[in-house]
């Protein structure tokens, strides 16, 4: 379509989706971690419409609440009397300028590019329907063409003649229509059909009668226009979405051990030569720097991973940033606010929360670092714990550059360890530890001669 034709979009999302067998409204069922409707609205937004109106009904409050951050208008369809009736509810929100695109809230894989093709192939003042050829058209509306191939009508399965049942070109439910004529056509639709509903599809026949150009543009693949009616469809769509997302990553430079065993639930960007091993889950905003390695079973949620960094198996990262050339895991856990600077390390069973791990610093084994700032080249021994929580408040631990914390140390925050300080293993540190000195807190070791072990009573 030419850029000066205003576009308005109506998304039909009032249906209940009974076949989902779920308390959650159908359009809020998750696909790749986002509600179905969010996918549709993302495609809609990519077309830069003047306005997007969502027709809602079942689960209305939940649907509106979930989508509240978006720039859309809402139209309630209290009773579901058919797709034509649904579009009619949106009319008060629409102007009669330009074109109206009708999308379905349960068709999440549709691409903006396909809609651009539909716009191009439909005359400016005409009606266009996105169609698709399928092996089994049972249940769908059929595209009825005349001898010269012109579109005459859409006939719903239940209203079709046996001859029409043979037609394998079906209505995807996606239409583009001239705004000016839409309300007139909708007024003329009647519910005199097998389902007693106001069918949007009847607009086709009315437009043909009015001498309006009508065309059907076949879409290349069924997958893109598949409607989600039950959880089997949902799982099929999930796989299709995942395949597409992982292919994008591979084209952008990621080597993926098995494209079928990565799950992407958000916006992931990769630089060249990233390697992603099996069973990796990437959620929210994830950025993987050049040459970074994501080991098997890693989960990354809103994570920024620097170039050349390796995440060993089973590393779990949430809302955190990791610099270049770091090594994390296996079995490391970064909770929100972990900030690993270049060349730093966290080994197995290390948990880090809201802490800076300075350049070249290492926390290699079984430790908890929370609300802390570690300088550069700090070495934290095995089993060290920052006691950051007194039961009411969180307190900070500060460790200076080049400090060496022995194994099994408890740092009772708020507390500060000076630069170059050494803390003896097993110490419980609750007062400032001086720079460049050894501080230790340890009961003296004793041996009790002649002590005997208790014996079990008979
Ligand atoms: C519809 C089409 C059919 C097409 C099929 C594609 C009509 C009459 N039929 O049939 O030609 O092949 O989609 O999947 O349009 N909705 C409302 N309010 C309503 C009714 C429906 O908002 O009163 C919404 C639903 O939430 C859904 C969409 O419209 O997102 C389609 O409705 P559905 O009942 O699934 O239509 P089908 O019978 O599948
Ligand atoms: Ca349907």
Q: Residue-wise pLDDT tens for the chain (458 aa)? A: 455 689 999 999 998 888 999 999 999 999 999 999 999 999 999 999 999 999 999 888 899 999 998 999 999 999 999 999 999 999 999 999 999 999 999 999 999 999 999 999 999 999 999 999 999 999 999 999 999 999 999 999 999 999 999 999 999 999 999 999 999 999 999 999 999 999 999 999 999 999 999 999 999 999 999 999 999 999 999 999 999 999 999 999 999 999 999 999 999 999 999 999 999 999 999 999 999 999 999 999 999 999 999 999 999 999 999 999 999 999 999 999 999 999 999 999 999 999 999 999 999 999 999 999 999 999 999 999 999 999 999 999 999 999 999 999 999 999 999 999 999 999 999 999 999 999 999 999 999 999 999 999 98
Around Cβ 162, how many Cβ atoms within 10 Å? 6
Give the predicted TM-score (pTM) of the model. 0.90
In this structure, the answer to whether residues 174 and 242 fall within a common structural domain is: no
Partner residues linked to 410 by β-bridges: 385, 428
Would the CB of 85 count as within 6 Å of ligand 1? yes
Same domain membership, residue 236 and residue 207:
no
Q: What is the CA radius of gyration of the chain?
A: 31
In a domain, 89, yes or no: yes
Shared-domain flag, residues 337 and 407: yes
Instruction: Check residue 59 and give its pLDDT.
Output: 83
User: According to the model, what pLDDT value does residue 3 have?
Assistant: 55
Q: Give CA–CA dist 76/90, Å, rounded.
A: 8
Structural domain includes residue 453: no
Q: Tell which atom from ligand 1 comes closest to the C-alpha of 86.
A: 18
Find the CATH number of the domain harbouring 108: 3.90.550.10
Same domain, 259 and 208: no
202 lines ligand 1 (CB under 6 A): no
How do beta strands 99-104 and 169-178 pair?
antiparallel
pLDDT of res. 58 = 80
- Mark whether 365 is an active-site residue: yes
Kindly state whether residues 384 and 343 are assigned to the same domain.
yes
Q: Ligand 1 pocket test: pick from 9, 10, 11, 15 the residue with the most ligand atoms within 8 Å of its Cβ.
A: 15
Same domain flag for 276 and 216:
no
Minimal CA–CA distance to 199: which of 129, 94, 133? 129
- Do 334 and 396 fall within a single domain? yes
**Boundary of a domain, candidates 225, 240, 274:** 225
**SS3 state of residue 321:** strand
Give the list of residues 6+ apart from residue 406 with CB closer than 8 angstroms, or none. 381, 384, 422, 423, 424, 425, 426, 427, 440
Q: Is 154 in the pocket of ligand 1 (CB under 6 A)?
A: yes
Which ligand is nearest to the Cα of residue 140, counting in written order? 1
Phi/psi for 126 (5° steps) reads -105, 180
Tally the domains of the chain. 2
**Contact partners, residue 100, CB within 8 Å, separation at least 6:** 7, 8, 9, 10, 94, 176, 177, 178, 179, 182
Whole-number pLDDT of residue 1: 46
Q: Identify whether residues 213 and 248 lie together within a single domain.
A: no
Q: Annotated catalytic residue: which of 58, 157, 233, 365?
A: 365
E-strand ranges in 32-90 read: 34-35, 51-56, 73-76
202-209 and 179-188 helices, crossing angle to 10°: 110
Q: Kindly provide the b/e burial profile for residues 299-320, where b requires at least 16 CB atoms within 10 angstroms of the residue's own CB.
A: bbbbbbbbbbbbbbbbbbbbbb
The whole-angstrom separation of Cα 186 and Cα 388 is: 65
Closest to 101 in 3D by CA, of 225, 112, 234: 112
List, in order, residues 6 or more apart from 278 with CB less than 8 Å away.
257, 258, 261, 262, 296, 297
Tokens of 392: 């009411």
- Check whether residue 236 and residue 253 sit in a common domain: yes
Q: Which atom of ligand 1 is nearest to the CA of 85?
A: 23
Whether residue 70 sits in one domain with residue 116: yes
Domain that holds residue 374: 231-439
Confirm if 125 and 214 have CB atoms less than 8 A apart. Answer: no
Residue 275 is assigned to a structural domain of this protein:
yes
The beta-strand segments (E) located in 77-168 are 99-104, 127-133, 142-145, 151-155
Same domain, 74 and 219: yes
Any domain includes 243: yes
Q: Is residue 294 part of a domain?
A: yes
Asked which of 225, 241, 263 is the last residue of a domain, the reply is: 225
Q: Is the dihedral of CA 380, 320, 308, 331 positive or negative?
A: positive
Residue with tokens 């999302």: 13
454 lies in some domain: no
Could you tell me if 315 and 332 lie in one domain?
yes
Q: Assign residue 342 the CATH number of its domain.
A: 2.160.10.10
Does ligand 1 have an atom closer than 6 angstroms to the CB of 81?
Answer: yes
């Amino acid at each position: 379509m030419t850029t000066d034709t205003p576009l308005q979009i109506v998304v039909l999302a009032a249906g209940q989706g009974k076949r989902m067998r779920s308390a959650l409204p159908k359009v809020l069922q998750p696909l790749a971690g986002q509600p179905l409707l969010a996918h549709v609205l993302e495609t809609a937004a990519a077309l830069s419409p003047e306005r997007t109106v969502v027709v809602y009904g079942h689960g209305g409050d939940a649907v509106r609440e979930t989508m509240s951050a978006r720039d859309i208008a809402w139209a309630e369809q209290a009773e579901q009397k058919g797709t034509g009736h649904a579009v009619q509810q949106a009319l008060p929100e629409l102007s009669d300028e330009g074109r109206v695109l009708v999308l379905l809230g349960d068709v999440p894989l549709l691409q903006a590019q396909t809609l651009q093709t539909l716009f191009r192939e439909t005359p400016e003042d005409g009606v266009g329907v996105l169609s698709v050829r399928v092996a089994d058209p049972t249940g769908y509306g059929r595209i009825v063409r005349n001898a010269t191939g012109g579109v005459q009508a859409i006939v719903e399965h239940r209203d079709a003649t046996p001859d029409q049942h043979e037609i394998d070109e079906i209505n995807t439910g996606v239409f583009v229509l001239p705004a000016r004529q839409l309300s007139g056509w909708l007024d003329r639709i009647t519910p005199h059909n097998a389902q007693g509903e106001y069918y949007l599809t009847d607009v086709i026949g009315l437009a043909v009668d009015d001498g309006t150009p009508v065309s059907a543009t076949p879409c290349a693949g069924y997958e893109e226009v598949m409607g989600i009616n039950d959880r089997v469809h949902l799982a099929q769509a999930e796989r299709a979405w995942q395949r597409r997302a992982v292919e994008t990553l591979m084209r952008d430079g990621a080597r993926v051990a098995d494209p079928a065993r990565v799950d992407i639930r958000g916006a992931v960007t990769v630089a060249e030569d990233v390697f992603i091993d099996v069973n990796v889950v990437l959620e929210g905003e994830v950025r993987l720097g050049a040459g970074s390695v994501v080991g098997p079973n890693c989960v990354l949620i809103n994570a920024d991973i620097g170039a050349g960094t390796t995440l060993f198996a089973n590393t779990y990262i949430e809302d955190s940033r990791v610099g270049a050339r770091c090594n994390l895991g296996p079995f490391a856990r970064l909770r929100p606010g972990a900030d690993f600077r270049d060349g730093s390390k966290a080994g197995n069973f290390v948990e880090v929360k809201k802490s800076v791990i300075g350049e070249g610093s290492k926390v290699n084994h079984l430790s908890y670092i929370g609300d802390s700032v570690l300088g550069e080249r700090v070495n934290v021994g095995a089993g060290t714990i920052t006691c950051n929580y007194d039961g009411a408040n969180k307190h900070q631990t500060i460790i200076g550059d080049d400090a060496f914390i022995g194994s099994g140390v408890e740092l009772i925050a708020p507390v500060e360890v000076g630069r170059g300080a050494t803390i003896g293993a097993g110490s419980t540190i609750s007062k400032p530890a001086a720079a460049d000195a050894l501080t230790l807190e340890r009961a003296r070791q004793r041996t009790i001669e002649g002590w005997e072990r208790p014996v079990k009573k008979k």
